[in-house]
Amino acid sequence: MFVLPDADMELIDIAQFQGKSNIILFFYPRDDAPCCTLQATDFSDHEDEFARLDCLIIGISRDDCIKHAEFRDKHGISVCLLSDAEGSACKQYGVWQAKEVNGVKKHGIVRSTFVIDKQGVLRFASYGVNAKGHALEMLRTVKELKK
């Protein structure tokens, strides 16, 4: 469990949703990158369908709240975006990993998604996801988990 600020600098305690909503947490590398934009707008486009399945969608990156607000407003993103500037949630979920880019090792967020049920139990985890079509894939996953 964690508490992080959203794009409007309001602190969001993930524990407040326990007993109320299933949560889809998607970790993404950074605001405004093409794949990150695709993923966030795709989840936003399907937010109503997720809501019908009692799912709240939360995106997390290490960008600050101001960047999140600009990203949200520029692309019409409606899902909640949380800032994990310190990287605590990233480390907790194991998405902060070493990557090799052009022969140079760097740490960064591996695009990953988690489904947490209403009881707070982690029901699904996927690391290294492809942004294209991911929201619909997660919709199918949540429907399967509900059966």
How many other CB atoms are there within 10 angstroms of residue 130's CB atom?
12
Question: 15: which 2 tokens?
Answer: 């524990």
Assess whether 35 carries a catalytic annotation: no
Contact 36, 113 (CB under 8 A): no
Residue type, 134: H
The catalytic position among 36, 65, 80, 90 is 36
Helix (H, G, I), strand (E, B) or coil at 63: coil
- Give the C-alpha separation, 132 to 108, whole Å: 20
DSSP state of 16: G
d(C-alpha 66, C-alpha 75), whole Å: 14
Contact assessment for residue 56 and residue 21, using Cβ atoms and an 8 Å cutoff: yes
Residues that are catalytic: 36
